[in-house]
Chain A
Amino acid sequence: MSVRLMWRKSLNVAMLSLTGVCVLITVSVLFFILGYLVYNGGKDLSWNFFTRLPAPVGEAGGGMANAILGSMKLLLLAALFGVPIGLLGGVYLAEFGGRTVPFVVRYTADLLNGVPSIVIGIFAYALVVMPMHHFSTLAGGFALGIMVIPTVLRNTESFLTDVPRSLREGAFAMGANKWKMVATVVLPAASRGILTGVLLALARVAGETAPLLFTAFGNRFWSPGWNQPTSSLPVVIYTYATGPYEDWHRQAWAAGLVLLGLVLITNILVRAFLTRGTAYERT
């Protein structure tokens, strides 16, 4: 074997193993994060954590019930505001659109998806908080809802366009008009994909902190109704982690574990659900 060939072969092995190392590093980060959170946060998870209000500063104990409920309320609002727009917009793109309008909408949605979440926060601040003159659950839900729209839209569109032509033609042949065809044949056929898209979008915004900082703000107590500032898990993690108290730090770890657990479990379940065979053959 010539020297050159030996060099080439060893370079081959070296570089290819290096790419393997890259994968190993990347993938191990997830398990490391998860393990470290379980290690640090697991011991502070208790029944109180889910049912109590935060204890006054300096006092041990207390929980994050208000933050957990706050996050749920924010997600509910986000879903109520974002999902219909995303869903119907997706139907438009896939079924009713011509050529130019869908292109513009699609492009806008992609750009909107790339807007930093903190800028979305400014937008919600300008549109909801400034006219109302105070922070509120409503403003936070609005901000998260905007972030849900592009994902739901694009997902819905792609799953709708995946529905085979033969199904549509079958519906037309049975005498359905277009909206009946869409509503009773195409949407049900794509429903599983659309649902997973919605859940993934909600899981993503569930962890968003930045847009809530100056919309939902924060609250150490329950937030009655929709018009008051509210606590939420991500914001509490941020406040507690950057706060000066040892007790806060431990609670931040526990909250981090809960949040990460929820987000990861949703992601895993949703994807398993999606790949477990579809109602029709996908190409």
Chain B
Amino acid sequence: MATTPNAATPTEFTATPRSFLRRWTGGDEIAHLVTLIAAATILLIAVLLVYQLWVLSAEARAKFGWSFFVTKTWDPVAGDFGALPFIYGTLVTSAVALLIAVPLGVGAAIFLAELATPKLSASLTFVSDLLAAVPSVIYGLLGVFLLVPIMRTTIQPALKKSLGFLPLFQGPSYGIGFLTAGIVLAIMIVPFVLSVSREVLLAVPRDQREAALALGATKWESTWKVVVPAARIGIFGSVFLALARALGETMAVTMVIGNNPKVAASLFSPGYSIAAVLANEFSEATGNLYLSALIELGLVLFLLTFVLNGLARLLIVVTTARGSGVLPT
């Protein structure tokens, strides 16, 4: 079996060096090493990613410092860069998306976890998973040609008429803008809220429900006052996960947000997001400072999603671990 010349030495039954050699030629150590290298590559990629973002944004960081985050001007010609409109747009669209997607996703998750038969629940979850697999550029396509006209002619005028006293719903209806981007994002992140929420709801032990029902609670009361609070932390986790998705979502937002670096109170106003400005300007950025400012935006985006994802995972692990034994596969 051992074919390497130096391995098959005839000296017999000696100490450790030889048994190490045998293991080596037997292949275990090689297999271990090869797989370890693959695993280490992942760490290397992550480290390199952070390193590159940090180093390449050095010029912008040195020049603008913290004021980068509170400056409104974005003027590539004058070499004046401020990230505020992009951060604002990213946060506003994500907030709109969460306001719509969280009730929808959690509501649907309650139905799938508490009411639907296992078979129905499984098939509907499958549809939701497919929805999560739809490429974002497809959402953008429908956003541009379908949602934007509807927003312009129907939804925005209607909102203006009913809620126009709020500064949020004032100004001309362009169709594109924060609200439209938020709605597209909401549709995109519902599947994430749904699938994770459903899992954590299913992880709540059955006797909790039965105890509530035995005390005379209605099905809704047992769900809302017992099951949902028990799964609360995991649901927060799903929300963070969805938020991280929404923050980093690029194409659909780029196509409907209006691409105008503006900080406006009105949700009807065209805006910009971090991911969108990267998508639009990165390939044609001229000059090191411009590129460096864009990469700093990328760094900001990376850090935001990094923190949110880390937090989300922690919360989800905490809740599913608590409902021990009933973990869904």
A interface vs B, CB < 8 Å? 8-9, 11-12, 15-16, 18-23, 25-27, 29-30, 33, 36-37, 40, 84-89, 91-93, 95-97, 101-102, 104-105, 107-112, 114-123, 125-127, 135, 146, 149-150, 153, 177-180, 182-183, 200, 203-204, 206-210, 213-214, 217, 234, 237-238, 241-242, 249, 252-253, 256, 259-260, 263-264, 267-268, 271, 282-283
Contacts and interface: CB of A to CB of B under 8 A. Distances in A.
What secondary structure prevails in chain A residues at the interface with B?
helix
Contact of A19 (B31, B39, B115, B308): B115
19 contacts: A8-B218, A16-B220, A22-B107, A23-B107, A26-B191, A26-B194, A36-B146, A40-B145, A88-B34, A93-B39, A118-B298, A149-B45, A179-B31, A204-B133, A207-B134, A207-B136, A217-B283, A264-B133, A271-B126
A241 B35 contact: no
Interface stretch (B61-69, B76-84, B150-158, B274-282): B274-282
Given A29-B187, A91-B35, A234-B137, A267 B42 contact: no
A203 to B, nearest CB: 7
The interface centre, meaning the residue of A23, A180, A207, A238 with most chain B CB atoms within 10 A of its CB, is A23
Q: What band does the interface of chain B fall in when counting residues whose beta carbon is under 8 Å from A?
A: 35 or more
Contact of A209 (B111, B124, B137, B220): B137
B199 interface: no
Contacts of B248: 114-119
A111 B309 contact: yes
A122 B39 CA distance: 23
Given A252-B141, A253-B141, A118 B278 contact: yes
Interface in B180-222: 187, 190-191, 194, 218-221
Interface in B117-168: 124, 126-131, 133-142, 144-146
Contacts of A118: 248, 250, 275, 278-279, 298, 301
Contact of A122 (B46, B139, B295, B329): B295
Contact of A264 (B31, B130, B137, B190): B130
B224 to A, nearest CB: 7
Nearest to A206: B135
A209 B247 CA distance: 16
Contacts of A203: 133
Contact of B298 (A29, A108, A119, A150): A119
Nearest to A105: B39
A25 B141 contact: no
A97 B39 CA distance: 10
Given A114-B305, A177-B27, 9 more contacts: A22-B104, A29-B190, A36-B146, A85-B41, A89-B38, A135-B283, A178-B31, A241-B255, A264-B133
A267 to B, nearest CB: 5
Nearest to B22: A177
Contacts of B104: 22, 25-26
A27 B3 CA distance: 60
Nearest to B57: A122
B263 interface: no
B108 interface: yes
A247 B134 CA distance: 24
B231 interface: no
Contacts of B124: 23, 27
A238 B251 contact: yes
Contact of A96 (B35, B187, B282): B35
A182 B191 CA distance: 36
Interface stretch (B5-13, B47-55, B264-272): B47-55
A126 B52 contact: yes
Contact of A241 (B31, B39, B145, B283): B145
B138 A260 contact: yes
A33 B48 contact: no
Given A12-B219, A18-B107, A241-B144, A179 B30 contact: yes
A29 to B, nearest CB: 6
A120 B305 CA distance: 13
Contact of A114 (B111, B250, B306): B306
Contacts of B37: 88
Nearest to A205: B135
